């Protein structure tokens, strides 16, 4: 596509405004809106100015002026604006040097894709995430110096069978929410509306269903694309899920662990390398994978603790990643074992369908950073021929303690993941994809603004445990 194509699309859609979308360091979407007449062919090189210093973790006040450069590869009509509005994904550029802003995640993802081609190993990396989420009827939380607490609720919740919130008797028991039919699945129509809106925005939805947890856990799968394309699509996906839920008077969250004692929200990331339109992960080895795919797995497993700092980047992420449950915490690979960090799906014998599924990420991540970190780890595994060892095909729950102790795990906290990233990030610096400055900015922000904030606050459970000591 070129600027003329975008302008024609806007004219055909009778767009009255153009909405410029960009992603901050932590993965939140932001936008600036202009009358459509402000968008010209020159805009795709001149850009639109904005203040980058007012966003979390970004520019200092003395370097606040930045430009948003529209990308002709990704545009659509917003489904939630009252007036016809053209949305365009944008890149952030320094107005003086005209170079990509060093903290722009989208530019980093583009460098990662370029590095794949530079290595000669492959020319394309595909990603396909499965981002789980909850749709709640009600959510409230408060955090003052003398009081704190949180409540979520859903008419589906098993705890409501004796309350006025559920007068029908239909409720989903804990951990029994996987693909039931209505009326147990009370949010089918909401998911279908989300799927229809995603199609209008250019995403291809392949399936939607209720997930395992009670109280409205969902999954909607959309078709894979390139690293950059999928990261853009995930931003559209999260935006659409949240806004459709709001239209139905409900609230959607991708928070990894909003409920105690039931399944959390993960984001299994399917990925595969291709070259000259041929899949590189298919072969005659274990589970039908190639030697190159094994080395890619080796890189993922070796660098998983560091990857987790980007792929499971919140303190809440590690309330989902707890050993002893079905969480994918074991740093091993398997064709069937879903407690392994890397799984090899076996649904299709087609070489084109052969891929790897990294299971410990969640959708609180910045997808541009998380996908790039996984890719760089996998490439490092290929370049250094890192052997992932034997697959974990045993039932993890039946392993004797001495054998289980030999299987390494993902970090147990965000602190541990950031510590791992601090000492293991050379693989991310190849090709100037990541930078030392960006990695350090990420670590410092997470420690100062998240870990320390949670660490210093009394937890309501502590009152139950210790108040009467």
pLDDT digits (tens, 9 = 90+) for 289-305: 999 999 999 999 999 99
Q: Measured in whole angstroms, how far is the alpha carbon of residue 320 from the centre of its chain?
A: 15
Q: Can 457 be counted among the known catalytic residues?
A: no
Extended beta strands in 292-337, E state? 330-334
Peptide bond into 60 cis (omega under 30): no
pLDDT digits (tens, 9 = 90+) for 75-90: 999 999 999 999 999 9
- Comparing CA positions, the residue from 309, 438, 330 lying closest to residue 389 is 330
Predicted structure pTM score: 0.97
Q: Hey, is 138 helix, strand or coil? A: strand
Q: Can 436 be counted among the known catalytic residues?
A: no
On whether residue 113 sits in a domain, the answer given is no
Question: CB burial class (10 A; 0-12, 13-18, 19+) of residue 142?
Answer: exposed
186 is in which domain, residue-wise?
124-466
Computed over every residue of the chain, the mean pLDDT equals: 95
Claim to verify: residue 398 and residue 303 sit in the same structural domain: yes
Claim to verify: residue 67 and residue 194 sit in the same structural domain: no
- Comparing CA positions, the residue from 28, 262, 314 lying closest to residue 154 is 262
On whether residue 162 sits in a domain, the answer given is yes
Claim to verify: residue 128 and residue 93 sit in the same structural domain: no
Q: Can 357 be counted among the known catalytic residues?
A: yes
On whether residue 108 sits in a domain, the answer given is no
pLDDT digits (tens, 9 = 90+) for 60-70: 766 788 999 99
On whether residue 109 sits in a domain, the answer given is no
- Mean pLDDT lowest for which of 7-21, 42-56, 368-382, 420-434? 42-56
On whether residue 110 sits in a domain, the answer given is no
Whole-angstrom distance, CA of residue 27 vs CA of residue 40? 28
CB 22 within 8 A of CB 99: no
Q: Can 455 be counted among the known catalytic residues?
A: no
What is the structure's pLDDT at 397?
Answer: 65
Q: Can 303 be counted among the known catalytic residues?
A: no
Active-site pick, 132, 156, 185, 262:
132
Q: Can 416 be counted among the known catalytic residues?
A: no
Claim to verify: residue 233 and residue 369 sit in the same structural domain: yes
> Which of 102, 134, 165 corresponds to the end of one domain?
102
> Which of 102, 134, 151 corresponds to the end of one domain?
102
On whether residue 386 sits in a domain, the answer given is yes
Claim to verify: residue 413 and residue 275 sit in the same structural domain: yes
For the cut 80, the answer to whether the pLDDT of residue 398 exceeds it is: no
Active-site pick, 78, 211, 232, 380:
211
Claim to verify: residue 305 and residue 159 sit in the same structural domain: yes
Claim to verify: residue 160 and residue 295 sit in the same structural domain: yes
Strand 251-253 relative to strand 124-136, pairing = antiparallel
Report the pLDDT averaged over residues 183-211.
97
Q: Can 450 be counted among the known catalytic residues?
A: no
Active-site pick, 78, 104, 357, 362:
357
- Mean pLDDT lowest for which of 175-189, 239-253, 259-273, 388-402? 388-402
Whole-angstrom distance, CA of residue 168 vs CA of residue 26? 42
Q: Walk across the sheet containing 29-35 and list its strands.
A: 29-35, 17-23, 85-93, 65-77, 48-51
Angle at Cα 327 formed by Cα 232 and Cα 192, nearest 5°? Answer: 45
CB 308 within 8 A of CB 410: yes
Q: Which pair of structure tokens corresponds to residue 359?
A: 């299971």
pLDDT digits (tens, 9 = 90+) for 43-58: 999 999 999 888 888 8
Active-site pick, 21, 191, 359, 425:
359
On whether residue 119 sits in a domain, the answer given is no
Question: CB burial class (10 A; 0-12, 13-18, 19+) of residue 374?
Answer: buried
Q: What is the largest CA-CA distance in the chain?
A: 71
Task: State the pLDDT confidence band at 450, using cuts at 50, 70 and 90.
Answer: very high
What is the structure's pLDDT at 169?
Answer: 84
CATH number at residue 164: 3.30.590.10
Active-site pick, 71, 78, 104, 219:
219
Q: Can 16 be counted among the known catalytic residues?
A: no
Q: Hey, is 437 helix, strand or coil? A: helix
CATH number at residue 98: 3.10.20.70
Claim to verify: residue 84 and residue 19 sit in the same structural domain: yes
- For residue 309, the 8-state DSSP code is H
Q: Which residue has the tokens 């202009």?
A: 34
- Tally of domains in the chain: 2
Whole-angstrom distance, CA of residue 339 vs CA of residue 322? 11
What is the structure's pLDDT at 62?
Answer: 65
Q: Can 338 be counted among the known catalytic residues?
A: yes
> Which of 102, 132, 160 corresponds to the end of one domain?
102
Claim to verify: residue 285 and residue 174 sit in the same structural domain: yes
Whole-angstrom distance, CA of residue 372 vs CA of residue 434? 9
Active-site pick, 74, 106, 268, 294:
268
What is the structure's pLDDT at 323?
Answer: 80
For the cut 90, the answer to whether the pLDDT of residue 417 exceeds it is: yes
Active-site pick, 19, 24, 104, 130:
130
Whole-angstrom distance, CA of residue 358 vs CA of residue 342? 5
Claim to verify: residue 91 and residue 141 sit in the same structural domain: no
CB 446 within 8 A of CB 414: yes
Claim to verify: residue 95 and residue 234 sit in the same structural domain: no
CB 88 within 8 A of CB 188: no
On whether residue 117 sits in a domain, the answer given is no
End-to-end C-alpha distance for the chain, whole angstroms = 67
Active-site pick, 51, 63, 390, 432:
51
Claim to verify: residue 91 and residue 180 sit in the same structural domain: no
What is the structure's pLDDT at 166?
Answer: 64
């Amino acid at each position: 596509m070129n600027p003329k194509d975008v302008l024609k699309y806007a004219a055909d859609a009778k767009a009255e405004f153009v909405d410029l979308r960009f992603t901050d360091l932590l993965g939140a979407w932001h936008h600036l809106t202009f009358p459509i007449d402000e968008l010209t062919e020159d805009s795709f090189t001149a850009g639109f100015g904005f203040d980058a210093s007012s966003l979390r973790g970004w520019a200092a006040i003395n370097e606040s002026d930045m430009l948003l450069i529209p990308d002709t590869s990704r545009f659509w009509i917003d489904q939630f604006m009252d007036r016809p509005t053209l949305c365009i994904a944008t890149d952030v550029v320094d107005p003086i040097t005209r170079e990509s802003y060093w903290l722009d995640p989208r530019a980093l993802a583009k460098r990662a894709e370029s590095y794949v081609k530079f290595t000669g190993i492959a020319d394309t990396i595909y990603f396909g995430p499965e981002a789980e989420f909850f749709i709640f009827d009600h959510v409230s939380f408060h955090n003052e110096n003398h009081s704190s607490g949180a409540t979520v609720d859903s008419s589906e919740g098993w705890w409501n069978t004796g309350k006025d919130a559920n007068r029908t008797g239909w409720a989903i028991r804990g951990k029994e929410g996987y693909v039931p039919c209505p009326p147990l699945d009370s949010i089918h129509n909401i998911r279908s509306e989300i799927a229809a809106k995603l199609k209008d925005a250019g995403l291809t939805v392949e399936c939607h269903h209720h997930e395992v947890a009670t109280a409205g856990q969902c999954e909607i799968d959309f078709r894979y694309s390139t690293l950059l394309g999928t990261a853009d699509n995930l931003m559209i996906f999260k935006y659409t899920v949240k806004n459709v839920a709001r239209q139905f008077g409900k609230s959607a969250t991708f928070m990894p662990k909003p409920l105690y004692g039931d399944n959390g929200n993960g984001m299994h990331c399917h990925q595969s390398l291709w070259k000259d339109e041929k899949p590189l992960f298919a072969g005659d080895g274990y589970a039908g994978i190639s030697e190159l795919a094994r080395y890619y797995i080796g890189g993922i497993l070796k660098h998983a603790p560091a990857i987790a700092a980007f792929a499971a980047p919140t303190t809440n992420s590690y309330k989902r990643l707890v050993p002893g449950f079905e969480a994918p915490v074991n740093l091993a690979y398997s064709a069937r074992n879903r407690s392994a960090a890397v799984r090899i799906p076996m649904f299709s014998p087609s070489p084109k369908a052969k891929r790897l599924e990294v299971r410990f990420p969640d959708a609180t991540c910045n997808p541009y950073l998380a996908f790039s970190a996984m890719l760089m780890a996998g490439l490092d595994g290929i370049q250094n021929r890192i052997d992932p060892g034997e697959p974990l095909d045993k039932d993890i729950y039946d392993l004797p303690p001495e054998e289980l102790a030999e299987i390494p795990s993902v970090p147990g906290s965000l602190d541990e993941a950031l510590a791992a990233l601090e000492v293991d990030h050379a693989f991310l610096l190849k090709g100037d994809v990541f930078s030392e400055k960006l990695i350090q900015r990420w670590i410092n922000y997470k420690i100062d603004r998240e870990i320390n904030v949670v660490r210093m606050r009394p937890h309501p459970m502590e009152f139950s445990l210790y108040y009467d000591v």
